[in-house]
C-alpha cells in the first residue's frame, strides 16, 4: 500500500489580506516549478496540519495550502464576520491569482470536499483535476445524522454520543445544534470553552476505523476546539451557505475533469451514501469505497489518495 510522502517544510509562507478584516496564512511546499495543487482542509475551522503536505510527490507538485478564514494561523482567529462558503471560494481564487497559477489540481476532504466542489463548480476553467475524500454535501440529512438525537451516529458510538448529549439539558435536546450555538456564544468564557471541547470531543474522537470511545480525539487543544466548534456550528446553522442540492446540481460544470472520490465504507461522520449519490450524479468520476473510517490517515484512504495524486502527476508532468 502507498504511504504518505516524507515530511517537508514550506519553501514560502505568505500573509495574504483578502479583505479589510481577514488575512490568510498560505504555504507553498514541494517543487516551485511542479504541478500546482490546492489543498482544502476540513472542519470548517480545523486548520492545517503538517501531514496535509504529504499526499503529494514533492518532486512533482507545487503544493499550496492555507488556513481558511478564522482558523489556524489566519486572522482574526474564530472570526465569523464575512465567513461563508462564497467568501472561501473567492479566497481560493484570490490565492490562485496571487501566486500566478493558471490551472491547478483541487484536493479536499470532508468539509474540504464540500469546498472543493463549490470552488471547482464556480471556476472549472482553472481546474485540472479533482481529488475528494470523505464526501460531505451539506444536506440536511447529513447534518442531522451526526449532530441530532434522531441521527444515526449516536447508535454506533453511544458512549461518546452520551457525553455530547449530556452537556445539553434534556429540555433543549430537540435541537442540539441550536443548544450548542447558544453556549458557544455565551458571555461566559468558561461556558464557551466547555461547549467547544464537548463538541470537538464528539467529532474529533469519531474519525478513525479503530475507535477508542474514551480517547480525547484530534481536537483536544483548546484553541483548535474553539475554532472547529464555533465555525462548524456557524456553517451548519446556515446549511453551509449552499442552495439545496447545489453541489449535485453543479456536477454538470465539472464532469469533464478527471476526478477521484475516496470514501471510508465505515465513515461515521460523513456516511457513505453521500459519496454514492455524488458518484451516481458523476459517473465519469472514479469512486473508491475502502475499509476505513473518516480519517484521511486511515491506511486504505492514504493508499487511494496518493495513488490519485500520483496519477494526475503522471498525466500532467
Catalogue the active-site residues: 110, 267, 294
Which whole-number Å values give the CA distances from 255 to 8, 128, 279, in the listed order?
33, 12, 11
User: What is the layout of strands, in order, in the sheet containing 12-17?
Assistant: 12-17, 23-30, 61-66, 35-40, 104-109, 127-133, 259-264, 286-290
Residues, the chain: 317
Angle between helices 189-204 and 158-166 (to 10 degrees): 160
Rounded to whole angstroms, how far apart are CA atoms 117 and 8? 27
The CB density around residue 15, as the number of other CB atoms within 10 Å, is 11
Cell readout for 130 is 479533482
C-alpha closest to that of 203 among 236, 231, 225? 225
- Give the CA angle between residues 102, 98, 312 to the nearest 5°: 35
C-alpha closest to that of 294 among 209, 218, 219? 209
Amino acid at each position: 500500500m502507498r504511504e504518505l510522502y516524507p515530511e517537508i517544510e514550506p519553501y514560502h509562507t505568505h500573509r495574504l489580506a483578502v479583505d479589510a478584516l481577514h488575512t490568510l496564512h498560505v504555504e507553498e511546499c514541494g517543487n516551485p516549478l511542479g504541478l500546482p495543487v490546492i489543498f482544502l482542509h476540513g472542519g470548517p475551522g480545523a486548520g492545517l496540519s503538517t501531514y496535509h503536505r504529504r499526499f503529494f510527490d514533492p518532486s512533482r507538485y507545487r503544493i499550496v495550502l492555507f488556513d481558511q478564514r478564522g482558523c489556524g494561523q489566519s486572522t482574526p482567529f474564530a472570526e465569523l464576520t464575512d465567513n461563508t462558503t462564497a467568501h472561501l471560494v473567492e479566497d481560493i481564487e484570490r490565492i490562485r491569482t496571487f501566486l500566478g497559477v493558471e490551472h491547478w489540481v483541487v484536493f479536499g476532504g470532508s468539509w474540504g470536499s464540500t469546498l472543493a466542489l463549490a470552488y471547482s463548480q464556480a471556476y472549472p476553467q482553472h481546474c485540472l483535476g479533482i481529488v475528494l475524500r470523505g464526501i460531505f454535501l451539506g444536506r440536511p440529512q447529513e447534518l442531522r445524522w451526526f449532530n441530532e438525537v434522531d441521527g444515526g451516529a449516536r447508535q454506533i458510538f453511544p458512549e461518546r454520543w452520551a457525553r455530547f448529549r449530556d452537556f445539553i439539558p434534556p429540555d433543549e435536546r430537540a435541537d442540539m445544534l441550536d443548544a450548542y450555538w447558544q453556549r458557544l456564544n455565551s458571555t461566559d468564557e468558561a461556558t464557551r470553552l466547555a461547549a467547544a471541547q464537548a463538541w470537538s470531543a464528539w467529532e474529533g474522537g469519531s474519525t478513525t476505523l479503530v475507535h477508542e470511545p474514551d480517547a480525547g480525539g484530534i481536537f483536544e487543544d483548546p484553541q483548535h476546539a474553539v475554532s472547529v466548534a464555533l465555525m462548524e456550528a456557524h456553517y451548519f446553522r446556515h446549511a453551509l451557505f449552499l442552495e439545496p442540492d447545489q453541489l449535485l446540481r453543479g456536477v454538470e460544470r465539472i464532469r469533464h475533469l478527471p476526478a477521484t472520490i475516496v470514501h471510508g465504507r465505515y465513515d461515521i461522520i460523513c456516511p457513505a451514501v453521500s459519496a454514492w449519490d455524488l458518484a451516481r450524479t458523476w459517473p465519469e468520476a472514479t469512486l473508491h469505497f475502502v475499509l476505513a473510517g473518516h480519517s484521511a490517515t486511515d491506511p486504505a484512504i492514504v493508499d487511494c489518495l496518493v495513488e490519485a495524486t500520483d496519477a494526475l502527476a503522471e498525466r500532467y508532468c
